[in-house]
Amino acid sequence: MIDKNKIDFVLPWVDGNDKKWQKEKAEYNPNQDTDANAQGRFRDMGTLQYMLRSIEKNCPWYNKIYIITTGHYPDWLDINHEKIVLVTHEELYFDKTHLPIFSSSSIEMNLANIKGLSKHFVYLNDDTIIMQTLKEKRFFVDNKPVDFLSHGWISRGKIFEKLKGRDSWVHSLNNNLNLINKNFYPLSLNQDSLYHKSYNLKTKISNFLLNNIYKKFLWLEHWHHPQPYLKSTLIDVYNEFKDEMMICSSNRFRANNDLTQYLYRYWRLARNDFYPYKHNDGYDADIVSYDYLKNAIEEIKENKNINFVCFNDQMFDANDEEFDRSKKLLVNYLDTIFQDKATFEKEIS
């Protein structure tokens, strides 16, 4: 059994309205129109407060919440509260010459350096809300992270790029896979990892091809929601891929030679170091417009089996008025669910 007081939550957060941060970002990269530098990657839809409330309300067994920032934090957050640990980039980075940075991928290469982090933790983004009360076993069973292995049918290579294009995100996932395949070829996956009873037939067939034909990862289905990890996994991966990870760490903005936190996940999948179970309890709300968000909220209200919702700001082409309307709609909705302040919220006059 896992000590219920020893599961932490970890998340990166940026205050895109911080004038000092904006000035520094503009100095290092004045180009505001690239995939790596899109406004939506840094814009704040006001979800952090409700995400933190959702942890305290629906995961009352949590130990601490580690918030990674450049040093800023919201006025309402009591950073001296026993449950809150503010980790600055200066404290986090193995190599401080990489700073300042403006990329979550860079941050994720340094997670093994978080001081005091528990052996078991959950990594998530500030746009993800935990909607239902959960037990520890949703994240960890038998001291292993709950996860699933669902192999894809095709790789995201040159043919895929010509047909559908590839952005820095796809490149980074391919980079993850390349490193794992170099270390674990041919893969040695056990039956439970490949064919667990919670997997559907399509997944089992694809995993059969993986195990018997490809013998290496081409592409993996992803879970863009809270991700449980063992700190030991972070340390193992860092020790194995330090050189490659430090290249990514030095990228101030997203780049095609990036890696991501899924490198840790791929490592444990390749090692069968997880408790296999494929849940279907997440909802991805990729917010492209006000109307889309309005419809998504109605769908979420009707579905009582959703444990996690990711409100992902994709309104890259929206004007300020539409963004403000969407933010107000989202905040008002979340406020109806999480009305009570968390214990680490200060009263703001």
Share of the chain above pLDDT 70, in %: 92
pLDDT band at 156 (very low <50, low <70, confident <90, very high): confident
Domains in the chain: boundaries: 7-142+279-337
What's the mean per-residue pLDDT of the chain?
92
The average pLDDT across 83-108 equals: 97
Give me the amino acid identity at 210.
L
pLDDT on residue 248: 98
pLDDT on residue 34: 56
pLDDT on residue 224: 84
pLDDT on residue 38: 56
**Is a pLDDT exceeding 70 seen at residue 115?**
yes
pLDDT in tens, 292-339: 999 999 999 999 999 999 999 888 777 889 999 999 999 999 999 999
Give Cα 292 distance to the centre of its chain: 22
If DSSP codes are grouped into helix, strand and coil, which group holds residue 181? helix
Least confident window among 29-38, 56-65, 99-108, 170-179: 29-38
pLDDT on residue 41: 55
Q: How far apart are CA 105 and CA 35, in angstroms?
A: 14
What are the start-end ranges of the E strands in 245-306?
275-276, 282-287
pLDDT in tens, 32-56: 555 555 555 567 889 999 999 999 9
The average pLDDT across 205-212 equals: 97
The average pLDDT across 235-251 equals: 98
Neighbours of 34 (CB within 10 A): 12
The average pLDDT across 122-131 equals: 96
pLDDT on residue 82: 97
pLDDT on residue 345: 97
**Is a pLDDT exceeding 60 seen at residue 140?**
yes
**Is a pLDDT exceeding 90 seen at residue 135?**
yes
CA angle at 269 for the pair 267 and 271, rounded to the nearest 5°: 70
207 to 173, 192, 223: CA distances (angstroms): 19, 11, 17
Q: How far apart are CA 130 and CA 40, in angstroms?
A: 22
Contact between 171 and 256 (Cβ < 8 Å): yes
**Is a pLDDT exceeding 90 seen at residue 264?**
yes
pLDDT in tens, 265-297: 999 999 999 999 999 999 999 999 999 999 999
pLDDT on residue 66: 98
